[in-house]
Chains A and B, each alone.
Chain A
């Protein structure tokens, strides 16, 4: 059976992308030979520690920052020469951005949409819908400077999610939000992704990345370390299963199954699928309590990078991102 041809296009394609900030004292790259393909449609998660290069990648793709070398095409257009074509179809929540404090919540969204060129009626409808979706309706007449930090962040997310852009860049959009508000933003992101839009998301919350992203890229020191769907990533680590054992078992026996960590009242063992079953059988036989399942993204991150995502990178890339934060330029 043959059907109509399916054209799969990528929203972002980067090839050999490097970035060295002009003010970087070490001259080390914030991004180094990064090749990545973000498929069109759905949520793509970019994860990594502070200073890994995530924001640099987003800023180059969103045409806010010049690359040093390499090629980036966004929605089929070159970021160096076809910025106007790209900008017509993108929207961005920059890291640590805040809405203009003298506006009311509904004005933040409405005026942004009007500034993008949407007709007033359409802008008003989209504003109403997004405020409702993100539970901001009750605050719509409130001035931004009277809002909590979390509500401000939610407002700026609403602004971009309400846009007509095909590609949304969300750089740590849920930082500072309470768990309930995070879930509401997740819902809105999922809704946007169902509208055949592409969302490039960076986040420090690995549960968020896992919950939202169809594919993920792990960046460390400006380089791509792992890329794929969450299940792909699990398939690429040495120990794709984790077994938590509460009770007493000889550690030497456990070490035969994989990597063992001590936890309060027992052990955490990272192992393979078959080994996990065997270990479970033995642990139950020894009278221990246990839980088992696939490793989390956090576990994968720890195994691949060797450190928690919460730890600062402290690398030249970090220095470059710091330089960027400080606005260091030649």
Chain B
């Protein structure tokens, strides 16, 4: 397959799983906007506006995480119910093209949420060249590991209903319990240690530091980058080895 053909396949997958379903059901766009905006609203009200900045940065992280993990339902449904993956396997489309195409298609659903949070980010004056670079890098890594996680999990799910069960759990473990929407320092010491199991803790620390809302989060940025990068690389490797293109 030539590079031109690969690009054509990739674009077609984005159209097929991203843009066309939205044409059929525009509410998909609102759906992915609902959760981060709900959190933002809740945090704003409870903190009397004091934690608004955390709500915005947390919303960005959650949006990118959902853009990745949301893929597990589509992959499972396409594989088991529609046999679409079998159709694609028996075609010139290569596995990496399918992976990237499907991942990008899922990102399309998150565009309104990204737009809203970026707009808030700009309005609140958080944007500097440094913060944009840091946040862009962090969000890319979050999307990367979430997508890898989705591909790996989808390999083991036998039914799309299993993904409905896992999605809230993933959300809880990666965005609600870790300090994505609040500073790490708010947690008791033992909980801070537990929170460090989640890669989103490191992502949130980097974002909160870049925006300047949690100076205490800036103490170990190098470590945060290293952990986030390592987790992403590890999950991508697991996905590459475990996610099945061809059945055993």
Residues of A within 8 A of B (CB): 22, 59, 62-66, 83-84, 87-88, 90-103, 107, 111-112, 114-117, 143, 159-160, 163, 165, 169, 324, 326-327, 329-330
Contacts and interface: CB of A to CB of B under 8 A. Distances in A.
A92 B91 CA distance: 8
Contact of B158 (A94, A116, A326): A326
The 8 closest A-B pairs by CB, nearest first: A117-B5, A92-B90, A97-B83, A62-B90, A94-B83, A94-B86, A115-B12, A102-B24
A64 B246 contact: yes
Interface stretch (B14-22, B191-199, B204-212, B222-230): B14-22
Contacts of A91: 90-91
Contacts of A59: 86, 247
6 contacts: A63-B246, A92-B87, A97-B83, A116-B93, A117-B1, A329-B248
B86 A92 contact: yes
Given A92-B87, A143-B24, A103 B248 contact: no
A65 B247 CA distance: 5
A294 B93 CA distance: 46
Contacts of B84: 97, 100
Contact of A114 (B12, B25, B94): B12
Contacts of A143: 24
B20 A107 contact: yes
Nearest to B2: A117
Nearest to B5: A117
Contact of B89 (A87, A111, A115, A160): A87
Nearest to A167: B90
Quick one: which of B2, B9, B86, B88 has the most chain A CB within 10 A? Answer: B86
Contacts of A107: 20
Interface in B50-101: 78, 80-84, 86-94
Nearest to A163: B91
B156 to A, nearest CB: 9
Contacts of A87: 89-94
A97 B8 contact: no
Contacts of A324: 247
| Prevailing SS type, chain B contact patch | helix
A115 B246 contact: no
Nearest to A113: B12
Given A94-B86, A97-B82, A327-B158, A116 B91 contact: yes
B94 A66 contact: no
A111 B16 contact: yes
Contact of A88 (B1, B81, B247, B248): B1
Contacts, number: 103
A265 B224 CA distance: 87
A84 B246 contact: no
Given A111-B16, A115-B16, A63 B90 contact: yes
B158 A115 contact: no
Contacts of A99: 82
Nearest to B157: A327
Nearest to B7: A117
Contact of A111 (B5, B12, B25, B80): B12
A59 B89 CA distance: 10
Contacts of A165: 91
A118 B247 CA distance: 27
Nearest to A107: B20
A162 B5 CA distance: 18
B81 A98 contact: yes
B13 interface: yes
A40 to B, nearest CB: 18
A330 B89 contact: no
A62 B24 CA distance: 32
A90 B1 CA distance: 14
B82 A100 contact: yes
Nearest to B15: A111
A117 B20 contact: no
B99 to A, nearest CB: 14
Contacts of A100: 16, 78, 82, 84
A117 B9 contact: yes
B152 to A, nearest CB: 14
B191 to A, nearest CB: 38
A228 B1 CA distance: 36
Contacts of A101: 82
A65 B67 CA distance: 30
B92 A117 contact: yes
Contacts of B20: 102-103, 107
A324 B86 CA distance: 13
A118 B86 CA distance: 19
Contacts of A116: 9, 91-93
A88 to B, nearest CB: 5
A83 B92 contact: no
A132 B13 CA distance: 25
Contacts of B89: 62-64, 87
Contacts of B25: 102
